[in-house]
A = this chain, B = another copy of it.
Amino acid sequence: MGHTHTSTEMKLAKADALCSQKGLSLTPLRKRVLELLLEAGGPVKAYDLLAALKPDGTAQPPTIYRALDFLTQAGLAHRVEALNAYLACVHGHGDEIAELFICENCGTVREQHAPALPDHTPEGFEISRSVLEHYGRCAQCSTT
């Protein structure tokens, strides 16, 4: 059994624990979608996930969008806004939020934490959600 597979299983187990702790139910369908995201190791489009769920094409869009909504709400995945794609979250976030560095050459995404309150937030503005995405070339791709 390869390393990736084992790692995926561990992450799924962690997700299970996190969900039951929060009173959320990580159903087989939702878990399967998270597994697909983890296996992909990068951003995946909703319709690609849909096709992977049911290769015969019988799964309908709401199936995948509902699962993705759940996962993003639960903090187990992020939506990459400028790609219309979804990404498994690689580490729980507390107060901090996700900041993504997306390589346009090789497609890899590096996820980091960023402070919930950016510098120079306008006086009185209450942030409920932030989108922090940087596009460019990763170190690997820059040198070639």
Contacts and interface: CB of A to CB of B under 8 A. Distances in A.
Q: Is the interface of A mostly helix, strand, loop or mixed?
A: strand
Contacts of A121: 101, 134
B125 A120 contact: no
Interface residues of A, number: 33
Contacts of A133: 81, 130-131
Given A131-B82, A132-B132, A120 B126 contact: no
Interface in A128-144: 128-140, 142-143
Interface in A100-144: 101, 103-104, 110, 112, 114, 118, 120-140, 142-143
30 contacts: A81-B81, A81-B133, A99-B118, A99-B120, A101-B125, A101-B127, A103-B125, A110-B122, A110-B125, A114-B118, A114-B120, A118-B132, A121-B134, A125-B136, A125-B137, A125-B139, A126-B136, A126-B137, A126-B142, A127-B135, A128-B135, A128-B136, A129-B136, A130-B132, A130-B133, A130-B134, A130-B135, A131-B132, A131-B134, A132-B132
Closest 3 A-B residue pairs measured CB to CB?
A124-B139, A81-B81, A127-B136
